Chains A and B, each alone.
Chain A
Amino acid sequence: MTGTAPQPATSSATAALPAGPRRRTAWRVTFLALRRTLLPFVALVAVWWAVKAVFGLGVSVLPSPAQAVRSVGPLIRSGVLVDYTTQSLERIALGGAIGIAVGTPIGLLLGSNRLVSMTFRPLLNTMQGLSGIAWLPLVNGWLGFGSRTVLVVILYTVTFPVAFNTMVGVQTLPIAYSNALRTMGAGRFYLFTHVWLPGALPSILLGARLGLAYGWRALIAAEMVLNAGGLGYLLFQSGGARNTPVIVFEMILMGVIWVFIDRALLRPIEQQTVVRWGMEQR
């Protein structure tokens, strides 16, 4: 090699961090971040409590935070909470997985061919404006009151954001990637699997995140309407019984489950791929 020795561009080149004081600093940072994250939630609960107290609202209108939390005991003891939660999670997992598996290749195909994307984009856009729930009456007639109908609604809701974002992801990839490989003899199939798929991954993950969030909401709505079990059904039943503590508790649970799906499932995938490759979109 000539003259200058190559230098790494980032400090990430130094792998091992020294132990001791720096570790304690890391803990402190985590603690501060956690405190910052929790603060708005604590504030919300405080406002909730204050509203109830100031206006003297009865439990039939608004339960207190304590009442909502206490309602969980009977729900767990009777087993319905675990059953219905499991049912909803199974549905979002299956519908989400199929939706991503179907939406990604559609998006790749649309993104890699200008003519195809120009032809189908208006249709895709229209379908995005049509919520999955709007299909419910029709699908209900075809497949009846049950898991299959819920699944179709989730599938529809997840597929379009994934396809749409994948398409945009492919279309915004630098042309130099595929040109570089074409001049090394790569064919179209190789470009599919080695440029468009990995290159669109940041967008695919964004689409999956949007799709699953929409899908999770659609799931609750579909279960409420269909009497087909799941958290949505439980919510609807509690509404009929004016059991406000359970209603509020369930609303909290749905939010928490979503955060868990996002943090425990999607974020790690992102860390292992997009972030590692320096392709994170900020």
Chain B
Amino acid sequence: MRGAVSTADTKIVADGLHFAYRSQEREPVVALTDVSFEVRAGELLCVVGPSGCGKSSLISLIAGLARPQQGRVLVNGRTVRGPGADRGVVFQELGLMPWRTVNGNIGQGLEIARVPRARRDEVVARFVAMIGLGGFEERYPHELSGGMKQRVALARTLAADPTVMLMDEPFAAVDAQTRVTLQKDLLRISMQTGKTIVLVTHSVEEAAFLGDRVMVMTRRPGRVKEIIDVPIPREERDYDALAHDEPFNALRVEITNSVRAELW
């Protein structure tokens, strides 16, 4: 793991990341220190850890919205120096434009990339169908439910066709029932699109259900504590079946204990 040897199969390399920022009170806060890991192409890596362990900072660093003081992030073998359309982010706050309709929001990445109108409409229509929002194309975000907004944000990122998708607690703000639906949607879409996904969550449940691997972080300053394999093919993941699956439950307990040991 350490030493970051990149292969054709490696999509993201985090190499000795150290990241500190200033808090509201101007106090320096070390969010991450000595963080190294790799993400394979097409993998869905879930990151869990106690709150304040730098999970969100990690997303910002890969996205290029923040710069590490030490170390570097490589995506497709190139060092990240700023944000770019190859790395799409689904933010916890979503950041949908209130002044744009569902269609307008989903098509915005393509608009920025100057994709011709006709082609853009075609792609947008495909993603509207994929997230099941047919009939809501001309609605504004404030007219949608939380779960629907969540889907629009996901579709917006997907439509821009990044090679890597970064998701920061994407389902934290919706009710439990909607969350399960969205998780199933994400699994299905991840299989359909083959994207490399890094998903940060505070829910061990969610991480074990979605992740090919689960990365556990220590409490602040965040380090990589361990990376746990979830040896269940994505197409076999089903909440009802896994609820009674012994190996899966054992894994879930293992991850839970690992995170719990990091709580203050």
What is the interface of chain A, defined by CB distance below 8 A to chain B? 1-10, 12-13, 174, 176-177, 179-186, 190, 194-195, 198-199, 201, 273, 276-279
Known: A2-B188, A179-B91. A8 touches B144 (CB 8 A): yes
What is the interface of chain B, defined by CB distance below 8 A to chain A? 63-65, 83-85, 87-89, 91, 93-99, 108-109, 112-113, 131-133, 136, 139-148, 151, 156-157, 160, 177-178, 181, 184-185, 188
Contact B143 A13 (CB under 8 A): yes
Nearest chain A CB to B101's CB is how many angstroms away?
10
Known: A2-B185, A9-B148, A12-B143. A273 touches B94 (CB 8 A): no
Smallest CB-CB separation from A11: which chain B residue?
Answer: B143
Contact B65 A182 (CB under 8 A): yes
Closest 8 CB pairs of A and B: A278-B142, A1-B132, A176-B95, A180-B95, A185-B85, A184-B109, A176-B93, A182-B83
Nearest chain B CB to A269's CB is how many angstroms away?
13
Further contacts, 18 of them, CB under 8 A, given A183-B88, A184-B112, A199-B97: A3-B181, A6-B132, A6-B133, A8-B136, A10-B142, A174-B93, A174-B95, A176-B94, A179-B83, A179-B91, A180-B94, A184-B108, A184-B157, A185-B83, A186-B112, A201-B99, A277-B142, A278-B142
Known: A183-B88, A184-B109. A177 touches B95 (CB 8 A): yes
**Cα A278 to Cα B149 with chains together (Å):** 14
Contact A179 B89 (CB under 8 A): yes
**Cα A165 to Cα B131 with chains together (Å):** 38
Contact B89 A180 (CB under 8 A): yes
| Between-chain CB contacts (< 8 Å), 30 pairs | A1-B132, A4-B177, A6-B147, A7-B145, A8-B145, A9-B144, A9-B145, A10-B142, A10-B143, A13-B143, A177-B97, A179-B65, A179-B91, A180-B89, A180-B94, A180-B156, A182-B83, A183-B64, A183-B87, A183-B88, A183-B89, A184-B88, A184-B109, A184-B113, A185-B83, A185-B113, A185-B160, A195-B97, A198-B99, A279-B98
**Cα A278 to Cα B144 with chains together (Å):** 11
Smallest CB-CB separation from B65: which chain A residue?
Answer: A179
Known: A2-B181, A6-B132, A6-B147. A183 touches B142 (CB 8 A): no
Nearest chain B CB to A280's CB is how many angstroms away?
10
**Cα A279 to Cα B151 with chains together (Å):** 21
Nearest chain B CB to A276's CB is how many angstroms away?
7
Contact B85 A184 (CB under 8 A): yes
Smallest CB-CB separation from B133: which chain A residue?
Answer: A6
| Interfacial chain B residues near A1, Cβ < 8 Å | 131-132
Contact B95 A185 (CB under 8 A): no
**Cα A174 to Cα B63 with chains together (Å):** 18
Nearest chain A CB to B242's CB is how many angstroms away?
16
Nearest chain A CB to B1's CB is how many angstroms away?
27
Which of A5, A6, A7, A279 interacts with B99 by CB under 8 Å? A279
Nearest chain A CB to B183's CB is how many angstroms away?
10
Which of B83, B136, B141, B177 interacts with A278 by CB under 8 Å? B141
Contact A183 B65 (CB under 8 A): yes
| Interfacial chain A residues near B178, Cβ < 8 Å | 4
Nearest chain B CB to A121's CB is how many angstroms away?
19
| Interfacial chain B residues near A179, Cβ < 8 Å | 65, 83, 89, 91, 95
| Interfacial chain A residues near B160, Cβ < 8 Å | 184-185
Smallest CB-CB separation from A5: which chain B residue?
Answer: B132
Contact B148 A6 (CB under 8 A): yes
| Interfacial chain B residues near A6, Cβ < 8 Å | 132-133, 136, 145, 147-148, 151
Contact B181 A8 (CB under 8 A): no
Nearest chain A CB to B239's CB is how many angstroms away?
11
**Cα A7 to Cα B147 with chains together (Å):** 9
Contact A277 B185 (CB under 8 A): no
Nearest chain B CB to A57's CB is how many angstroms away?
55
Smallest CB-CB separation from A12: which chain B residue?
Answer: B143
Smallest CB-CB separation from B142: which chain A residue?
Answer: A278
**Cα A8 to Cα B157 with chains together (Å):** 22
Smallest CB-CB separation from A184: which chain B residue?
Answer: B109
Nearest chain B CB to A107's CB is how many angstroms away?
18
